[in-house]
Each structure stands twice: as structure tokens, then as C-alpha cells.
Chain A
Amino acid sequence: MAKQAVSFTLNGKTVDVLVEPRELLIHTLRENLNQTGAHIGCETSHCGVCTVDIDGESVKSCTLLTVQTAGSDVKSVEGMATADGLHVIQQAFVDEHGLQCGFCTPGMLMRAYRFLQENPDPNDEEIRWGMSGNLCRCTGYQNIIKAVKTAAKNLQQA
């Protein structure tokens, strides 16, 4: 199949890629643009490790064609930290030990990033509901919930 030129914004910068229609966004990010923060897990939109932010919504990038993102504003985990250091949400995951092996963490961070804008002051139940599209096989989730809660508090004070 003929390749198509697609342009979108990734972490504030315009990127141009040439892709087959069947190419999924996660592959473009990782293999074409060398942004390997978003991971490949289940590949069937269950586990959430490929979560990125597109036009203000959390999306699983394993289940979106790159051609569908033409003109979109995409944010991946690489866009979180700045020269000044970690993003407040990343620091909260460090402080609360919200990760063990770290495989699910990029997805958790990107989902928390959007969730805390949808609901800046969530209770535990709302966090569990809001983060339910991301699986973690190490932590048992308790410290992830704590990390999101701490991040919410710190973001409000920031």
C-alpha cells in the first residue's frame, strides 16, 4: 500500500512522517520517531501502557492508526519532564513508590496527567475509576492510588 504523509504535533513540535495506512501510532512513536516512552503491552487496548494524550483526551496508541492523528496535538511521556526536573506527577510516583518494574509507568503517568485535569481533586474511588484502563502487575495498585492523590494535592499547591 502506498505510504501517506502525515503531520501532527508531538510534545509541542511538528513532526512529519511517511506511513502505511495500517501503521499504528505506537509503532510510529517508537520506531519512526524514537520516542520509546510509550510501551507495547497487550496490543489489544486492554493494558494501557501505550496511553498518550491526543487533543486533550487519553488514548491507547496501539489502537489508533497514525493516519488518523493527522493535524492532532499528541503528548507522550517524553513531554512531561522539563529542564527544571520531573513533572509533579512523576515526582509523586517516585515519592509514593508508585512503581516497581516500571513497565506500566509511562501509561500510568500519561493517564494521571489527563485524569487530574478532568478531576483535579479526586477521592480514592474516583482515582480507581479514572485509572481503570491501566494495568499494573507489580504494585497491587495501592501506591499508584497514593501517588495520584499526592500529585493532585501537589498540583493544587503548585
Chain B
Amino acid sequence: MIPSGFEYHKATSIADAIAKLQDNEDAKLLAGGHSLLPMMKLRFSEAPYLVDINGIEGLKGISIDGDTITIGAMTTENELIRSDLLQQYCPLLVEAAKLVADPQVRNKGTIGGDVAHGDPGNDHPAVMLALDAQLIIHGPDGERTIPANGFFLGTYWTALEEHELLVAIKVAALKTGTGHGYNKLKRKTGDYAVAGSAVVLEMNGDVVRDIRIGLTNVAPMAIRAEAAEDLIRGKRVDEVLLKAVEKAIVEACDPAVDLRGDEEYKSHMAAIMARRSIIQAIKNAKE
């Protein structure tokens, strides 16, 4: 399988990439390419012009300033996994990256591509929602920052406007008393989730002070399970509450039916993944 023909340009800077997007109708950005190229080979997607952003130095790397961690959009999954900084300050990102695809794909696949592609099966969007991440976007009119909550609008549809480029992701370092978890049910290594759930919560003694629950691949886009969050906030989590939370999560789901399962199964699995992430997060909430 070979994609249909296109022109190729290796961008030298963010400004160059944006200019090429403006100058070439229907141009697409090539990040890790492990979603886009298979889609182009299968002719699900066509692009007359590809702007390769792999060579742009400023798009890579992980740094921390005070409590804010900044991750360049072109940072690969394996770079997330190998990051001591993330292991210390935001281990949720490391744990989630380990569940993405396989070792070879993680050498090419990037966090920014995973987020900006808009595929509900990608793992980072739900993690971004749980972390309440901020997305730094550059476009012809300069820079803007928007919250991950509200970025995911539908399948392959995000709040990125035409000619815009996701350049970095900002998340807060997980502070004392904060717990996290990402659980993903998949049929085999490298597969998309049947269902997945990312949780970040803040404990106050044995009461959950605040919680965010993100869900993977059980709706047209990654979603927050807000009704379930409302049930937990300010409460001690016990079996009765978890049952109610599961019910709220099933109600929030609207999965596409495919070979991974029907609607009822996928929704139920989302509830189980969320339950596991909640229990795990309470357990690992930092002292």
C-alpha cells in the first residue's frame, strides 16, 4: 500500500510550518506519522501537501518551571517513558505512554500528534482531560492557550483552527495528596482501547476533595465523566459509591460499535477501567 501522491516539505521552524499550511490548500502536518501514514496508505485520508515538523528543534523536550511542566508536542512516547522528570512529577503520563502502541511505534509517535489527531481511540486525550492540561497553539495570528477540556469536539475534530499547530502541552506537577491512574482494556499489545479511563484526584484525609475522570474510546471523542465526578467529590469512596459511579459512567458513554465490542460491553468496560483507576489513584495519592 502506497499513499496517493503529495508534495513534501521539511519545515525548518514553527513559522515556516504555519506559512506552508497557509500557502498550500489542504496541507497536513506530519508528526510521528503513525496514525496519518497508515490512513493515507489505506486511502482513508489524502493530502496534496505534507509539512514534516520532525526537524523543528523547539517542539521537543520536557521541562519544569515552578509547578508547571511543559512538554513539546513532538516529544515521542518513548521520550515520555524515559523521562525522570515526568516519573517524579507526573508519573501518570509515563504510565499512560507505556500503554500506547508498541516499542517501535513509540519511537516515532508523539504526544502532540496523539492529542491533535482527534482520534477517540488515542490514549493521551483522556489523560489530558484528567490532568486538566493547557494546550499551547501557534497560528497565523500568534500564540493562544486553550484548556484540554473543550479541545476534543468529535472524531478527528478538535478546536485547532485551520493553519494552526499544537506546539506544547502544559500540566501541573502532581502535588502532595494527589493520586492518579490510567487503565486501558485492549485485546493485544498495540491495539486501541476497548475502553480506557484516566483519573487524577486530590485527597483530604480519606475524603476525595476533587477528581477528574477522562474516558478513552467510548464516545466520538475523549470525554470527562462529569456526573461521576460530582458523585465522588467530597465523599469517602466505598463499594456503594463505586457502584453508583459505574452507573454514571455507563450513562456517559456513547461508543461506536466495532469488532472490539458492542455498546453495552464497551460502556461496562469503561466503568470497570474507571473503577480501577479510582482505586489505584486513592492508593497512590502522595502522602
Contacts and interface: CB of A to CB of B under 8 A. Distances in A.
B104 A58 contact: yes
A64 B190 contact: no
Contacts of B103: 58, 111, 115, 129-133
A63 B108 contact: yes
B189 A1 contact: no
Contacts of B104: 45, 48, 51, 58-60, 111, 133
Contacts of B101: 45, 133
A65 B38 CA distance: 11
Contacts of B1: 43-44
A22 interface: yes
B8 interface: yes
Interface string A85-118: 0000000000000000000000000010001000
B6, B52, B107: most-surrounded residue (chain A CB, <10 A) = B107
A132 B106 CA distance: 12
Contacts of B270: none
A153 interface: no
B6 A1 contact: yes
A60 B33 contact: no
Interface in A41-70: 43-46, 48, 51, 57-60, 63-65, 67-68
10 contacts: A1-B6, A4-B8, A24-B41, A27-B2, A45-B38, A48-B104, A63-B34, A64-B37, A111-B103, A129-B103
Chain A, interface residues (CB within 8 Å), range = 20 to 34
Nearest to A58: B104
Interface of B: 1-8, 10, 30, 33-34, 37-38, 41-42, 50, 52, 54, 78, 101-105, 107-108, 189-190
B145 to A, nearest CB: 30
A132 B6 CA distance: 32
A59 B101 CA distance: 13
Contacts of B33: 63-65, 68
Contacts of A131: 103
Contacts of A73: none
A65 B108 contact: no
A59 B107 contact: yes
Contacts of B107: 57-59
Contacts of A1: 5-7
Nearest to A50: B104
A36 to B, nearest CB: 18
A124 interface: no
B105 A60 contact: yes
Given A22-B6, A23-B2, A68 B54 contact: yes
B102 A133 contact: yes
Interface in A9-49: 20-24, 27, 43-46, 48
Given A22-B3, A22-B6, A132 B102 contact: yes
